[in-house]
Chain A
Amino acid sequence: MTPASSMNAALERQPPRLMLADPILTMTGIEKSFGDVRALRGVDVTVYPGEVLGIVGESGSGKSTLLRMMNLEDMPDRGEYHLALPGQEDLNLFTLDRFSRRMLRARHIGIVYQNPHLGLRMNNTSSGNVAERLLMAGERSFAVLRARAKESLDASEFPISRMDARPSELSGGMQQRVQLAKAIALEPALLLLDEPTTGLDVSVQALVLDTLKRLQRERRITMVIVSHDLGVIRTMADRVMVMRNGDVVEQGLADQIFQDPQHEYTQQLVHAKL
């Protein structure tokens, strides 16, 4: 099989069972360059309600750039982005003004970054970091803020006795749990995870992934998880998208990708991992 035809086969293989519902997220033709670097070369993404989409690829393949666009933090040079949100008009979200993008992100999207400094105010309390989300959504009762911050931290398996500690005083694993609590506080339509366990000890990594899996099972949160680590993607994802140099080289159900990778690059990744 030539590389080109293997690529087509890989891209056309569709996940049968999850296709039944309408997608919650649709991105088409996303292109982005940073100077001479073409970080994204016309990427299409579809995410269905309640599923976990894993995006895997080596460092520099454009995963984080794509996730930042899903979070409306960054804008592409070309491409469209639609989210099916209840009561919201369907439009290309990249055409919204900065304020509307911010409001939409605050209400409907949660994100956990690899680097907790990007997601947290390190010198505020952990509960305050969660409460800020609720404050932005207009919650003005101190008692309710406390209760909901607590509930969210608890759901992220963060020890409540430490809820008023500063993230700067916490371990990396705990910082990720605070980020997670903040991300899920408003029950987002979409939870984005950018290498959420990279940089953690392996044992801590497993615990954080357990929490994510439990949350996913209990709340059916739609997630997009990015990692260069195939093991993390295998643990978490229902469906997998493989990226390389700003292109999607293969996508499909996680089982198919891991057991029967079509594209050479995926085969290399999978075999290197085994």
Chain B
Amino acid sequence: MKLDQLTKPWEAFSYGFLDQSAKREMRRRILKAIAIPGYQVPYASREVPIARGWGTGGLQVTLTLLKPSSVVKVIDQGADDSVNASSIRKFLRRVSSARETLDTMEADVIQSRHRIPEEKLREDQILVLQVPNPEPLRPVQPDMSEARIMHGDADYGQLWLTLYEQLVRSGRIMQGSSYPSMVNGRHVMTPSPIPRWDVPKMHMAANLTILSAGREKRIHAVPPYTRVEPLVFDDVPYRIEDHADKTCYRSGVTGFFMNELPQDDGSSSFEVSDSQYGVKHIRRQEGEPVTLGETYYREGRLER
């Protein structure tokens, strides 16, 4: 037997960049994460051509999910046009020939850093969140083995203590993004650094959410119609950012999560953080036939 009979024909890379065994492993890990909502499943995070910390975890999940007929949206803190989002999008197109979209309603897979879109996701959509620190117990227990035992025991007293201390010291809960949340009544997860505004969107959501940390090599998931409950005291209600009465200076929409733009005179103006949602409003005002999706919030209040 000759050497060239043993080798395969040369290929630049596999479909979807990751090799088949890597994808198979990812799918198994994802299935396990779905089977145990909120549980952090370790995986062998592969090298991808972006730097660790720039969404490699999310990217590996997205690469595993895409097929040529997929439609994919990538956002970074709500915006489709950041350098990071557009590089990831360009890369995904090149290696998967999936179609890109900016419209949340049109996407099969949405990869996002630090935001959940304002339009409600459906059962046929998957949200992939990039996660820097998957371990909600890290601030109270730096030892990962100990933290795993604590998850096993549902030993979350110290997380509660952290919230107690914030209330005692500051009179309010200071935890902003990454608000620790109980999934399916069993595992506390970090929802990734999404604002508090976005956490209630996960509760009993129709879509599957996969959260992946590339550097830390952990995947966790929130399957469709799963309880996601931020840790709160019975007598101190969960509070979202008070953006309800803010109006976007570009699109005119009110009642959604805003980016604050400090002005020279010390005041602030606001623009809607889910940029494409703002764009759709502007286009509709200009007479284009645009379909706006249902939203989780209406007039700044959560729709239930």
Contact A132 B235 (CB under 8 A): no
Known pairs A99-B153, A127-B168; A132 contacts B158 (CB<8 A): yes
Known pairs A141-B234, A141-B235, A143-B235; A136 contacts B168 (CB<8 A): no
**Which residues of chain B are within 8 angstroms of A141 by Cβ–Cβ distance?**
233-235
**Which residues of chain A are within 8 angstroms of B158 by Cβ–Cβ distance?**
132
Contact B153 A102 (CB under 8 A): yes
Tell me the A121-137 residues at the B interface (CB within 8 Å).
121, 124-125, 127-128, 131-132, 135-136
Bound form: Cα–Cα A260–B250 in Å: 92
Does A145 have its Cβ within 8 Å of any Cβ on chain B? yes
Tell me the A90-135 residues at the B interface (CB within 8 Å).
99, 102, 121, 124-125, 127-128, 131-132, 135
Does B157 have its Cβ within 8 Å of any Cβ on chain A? yes
Residues 136-148 of chain A: 1 if any B CB is under 8 Å from the residue's CB, otherwise 0? 1000111101000
Does B167 have its Cβ within 8 Å of any Cβ on chain A? yes
Residue of A nearest to B160 (CB): A135
**Which residues of chain B are within 8 angstroms of A128 by Cβ–Cβ distance?**
161, 164-165, 168
Bound form: Cα–Cα A61–B157 in Å: 35
Known pairs A125-B165, A131-B164; A142 contacts B235 (CB<8 A): yes
Tell me the B231-247 residues at the A interface (CB within 8 Å).
233-236
Does A164 have its Cβ within 8 Å of any Cβ on chain B? yes
Tell me the B82-118 residues at the A interface (CB within 8 Å).
none
Known pairs A142-B167, A164-B168; A131 contacts B161 (CB<8 A): yes
Bound form: Cα–Cα A125–B152 in Å: 27
Known pairs A102-B153, A135-B157; A140 contacts B234 (CB<8 A): yes
Give the size category of B's interface with A.
10 to 19
Bound form: Cα–Cα A176–B280 in Å: 63
Bound form: Cα–Cα A109–B235 in Å: 28
Nearest CB of A to B9, in Å: 55
Bound form: Cα–Cα A9–B261 in Å: 86
Bound form: Cα–Cα A112–B30 in Å: 45
Bound form: Cα–Cα A49–B234 in Å: 36
Residues 164-193 of chain B: 1 if any A CB is under 8 Å from the residue's CB, otherwise 0? 110111000000000000000000000000
Contact A132 B168 (CB under 8 A): no
Bound form: Cα–Cα A141–B236 in Å: 8
**Which residues of chain B are within 8 angstroms of A127 by Cβ–Cβ distance?**
168
Known pairs A128-B164, A164-B168; A142 contacts B157 (CB<8 A): no
**Which residues of chain A are within 8 angstroms of B153 by Cβ–Cβ distance?**
99, 102
Bound form: Cα–Cα A121–B165 in Å: 12
**Which residues of chain A are within 8 angstroms of B169 by Cβ–Cβ distance?**
125, 164
Nearest CB of A to B148, in Å: 13
Known pairs A141-B233, A142-B233, A143-B235; A136 contacts B157 (CB<8 A): yes
Bound form: Cα–Cα A125–B170 in Å: 13
Bound form: Cα–Cα A143–B168 in Å: 11
- Candidates A102, A135, A143, A164; contact of B161 at CB < 8 Å: A135
**Which residues of chain B are within 8 angstroms of A121 by Cβ–Cβ distance?**
161
Bound form: Cα–Cα A106–B160 in Å: 16
Interface centre among B152, B165, B234 (most CB of A within 10 A): B165
- Candidates A99, A125, A132, A164; contact of B157 at CB < 8 Å: A132
Bound form: Cα–Cα A121–B234 in Å: 25
Nearest CB of A to B151, in Å: 12
Nearest CB of B to A37, in Å: 27
- Candidates B155, B161, B233, B236; contact of A124 at CB < 8 Å: B161
Contact B168 A125 (CB under 8 A): yes
Nearest CB of A to B186, in Å: 14
Contact B160 A142 (CB under 8 A): no
Contact B234 A135 (CB under 8 A): no
**Which residues of chain A are within 8 angstroms of B235 by Cβ–Cβ distance?**
141-143
Residues 220-242 of chain A: 1 if any B CB is under 8 Å from the residue's CB, otherwise 0? 00000000000000000000000
Residue of B nearest to A149 (CB): B164
**Which residues of chain B are within 8 angstroms of A99 by Cβ–Cβ distance?**
152-153
Interface centre among B153, B155, B164 (most CB of A within 10 A): B164
Bound form: Cα–Cα A140–B152 in Å: 21
**Which residues of chain A are within 8 angstroms of B165 by Cβ–Cβ distance?**
124-125, 128
**Which residues of chain A are within 8 angstroms of B155 by Cβ–Cβ distance?**
102, 136
- Candidates B161, B167, B168, B233; contact of A140 at CB < 8 Å: B233
Bound form: Cα–Cα A164–B167 in Å: 11
Nearest CB of A to B155, in Å: 8
Bound form: Cα–Cα A140–B237 in Å: 12
Bound form: Cα–Cα A145–B161 in Å: 11
Residues of chain B touching chain A, judged by Cβ–Cβ distance below 8 Å, are 152-153, 155, 157-158, 160-161, 164-165, 167-169, 233-236
The 7 closest A-B pairs by CB, nearest first: A136-B157, A142-B233, A135-B160, A141-B234, A132-B161, A135-B157, A140-B234
A sample of 17 inter-chain contacts (CB < 8 A) reads: A99-B152, A124-B165, A125-B168, A127-B168, A132-B157, A132-B158, A132-B160, A132-B164, A135-B157, A135-B164, A140-B160, A141-B233, A141-B234, A141-B235, A142-B167, A142-B235, A164-B168
7 new A-B pairs (CB below 8 Å) besides A132-B158, A135-B160?
A99-B152, A124-B165, A131-B164, A132-B157, A136-B155, A136-B157, A141-B235
